[in-house]
Amino acid sequence: MVTIRHAQPADYGRVIQHVNAWWGGREMAPMLPQLFFVHFEGTSFVAENDAGELVGFLVGFQSQTQPTEAYVHFVGVAPRERGSGLGRALYERFADVVQGHGCTTVRCVTSPANEASVAFHTKLGFEVDRVAEDYDGPGEDRVLLVRRL
Amino acid sequence: MVTIRHAQPADYGRVIQHVNAWWGGREMAPMLPQLFFVHFEGTSFVAENDAGELVGFLVGFQSQTQPTEAYVHFVGVAPRERGSGLGRALYERFADVVQGHGCTTVRCVTSPANEASVAFHTKLGFEVDRVAEDYDGPGEDRVLLVRRL
């Protein structure tokens, strides 16, 4: 049994411990400062198993430029839980909350090299908006994904 | 003459070009993905001189957990503009906007090693809330600063 609940600042330390490992050893932690856990609790979630172990999380927010849009900054699932539907369940919890705030689209970006991420998002109903060169800095191309709610 | 205006996604490339250099060669770019320029335009600013060159910027937002709080994620001033009052001017523009949204406090965090940053914020009326070990991950201690508006 996996339980999904809102993330809190106290969850940050546990999440950040796992992030680099869950991303196959890439150095991801600098992209996920604690501010997301402090200021976007209502649209961020952690998932725990019966033993209380962290098995997934999602960090997102409502756009303040365009309040009908929501953005998912990070979603992660423990390697041993992949294929269980937990990623989808986290996205659905997020979608329910932001729809309640009036959002009609969800956006996210991923690396073109991360084919598993592009495939995962496509299965969830995301479409590729465009692929943008140097989107997150020199050499940091990104696939821009969008899903209508 | 320096002009301050709202940041836009199109400003991102120019800002990110300068960030590492302005921070003394530290690798800061991964901490400032383009999402902040896309989703927090109304509370983010760039400053340009008469020649149209970027001389400063501030990236911030209103907390969605606690809407009476605002958070400044990044503020940067070109080395040749330091001491001109531009950092203060950027903070004042930000404070004006977030006060209009009902915010009564501004928070930010900085590295304890960055004594110039702590001194700068103290001069602007920030107080040290606390120093938190491993705040942004293992070995990433932070000074938590707060200013009442």
What is A75-134 written as a DSSP string? EEE-GGGTTSSHHHHHHHHHHHHHHHTT--EEEEEE-TT-HHHHHHHHHTT-EEEEEETT
Mean residue pLDDT across chain B: 96
Scanning A23-79, the segments in alpha helix (DSSP H) are 35-39
Mean residue pLDDT across chain A: 96
A135 contacts in chain B (CB < 8 Å): 34
> Stretch A91-116: mean pLDDT, rounded?
97
In this predicted model, what pLDDT tens digit does every residue of B94-146 receive, in sequence order?
999 999 999 999 999 999 999 999 999 999 999 999 999 999 999 999 999 99
pLDDT band at B24 (very low <50, low <70, confident <90, very high): confident
Interchain proximity A64–B62, CB inside 8 Å = yes
Q: Which of A31, A44, A59, A65 to mutate to test the interface with B (most CBs of B within 10 A)?
A: A65
pLDDT at residue number A145: 98
Name every residue whose Cβ is closer than 8 Å to that of residue A98 and which is 6 or more positions away in sequence: A43, A60, A62, A70, A106, A149
Q: A76 to chain B nearest CA, in Å? A: 17
A101 contacts in chain B (CB < 8 Å): none
Interchain proximity B33–A62, CB inside 8 Å = no
B98: enclosing H helix or E strand: helix B86-100
Burial of A141 (0-12, 13-18, 19+ CB in 10 A): middle
Interchain proximity B35–A135, CB inside 8 Å = no
The percent of residues above 90 in pLDDT, for chain B, comes to 93
Predicted ipTM of the assembly: 0.95
Taking alpha carbons only, the member of B27, B88, B87, B38 closest to residue B61 is: B38
Interchain proximity B64–A40, CB inside 8 Å = yes
Interchain proximity A65–B42, CB inside 8 Å = yes
pLDDT at residue number A28: 84
pLDDT at residue number B23: 86
Query: With an 8 Å Cβ cutoff, is B139 touching chain A?
Result: no
Question: In this model, does residue A24 exceed pLDDT 90?
Answer: no
pLDDT at residue number B26: 81
Query: With an 8 Å Cβ cutoff, is A119 touching chain B?
Result: no
A29 contacts in chain B (CB < 8 Å): 136-137
Q: How many whole angstroms separate alpha carbon A88 and alpha carbon B76?
A: 38
pLDDT at residue number A25: 83
In this predicted model, what pLDDT tens digit does every residue of B62-74 receive, in sequence order?
999 999 999 999 9
> Stretch A38-42: mean pLDDT, rounded?
98
Residues 11-30 of B with CB under 8 A from A: 13, 16-17, 27, 29-30
Query: With an 8 Å Cβ cutoff, is A71 touching chain B?
Result: yes
pLDDT band at A22 (very low <50, low <70, confident <90, very high): very high
pLDDT at residue number B54: 97
Q: Which of A23-32, A48-57, A84-93, A140-149 has the lowest mean pLDDT?
A: A23-32
* Under 8 Å between Cβ of A2 and A19: no
Interchain proximity B64–A69, CB inside 8 Å = no
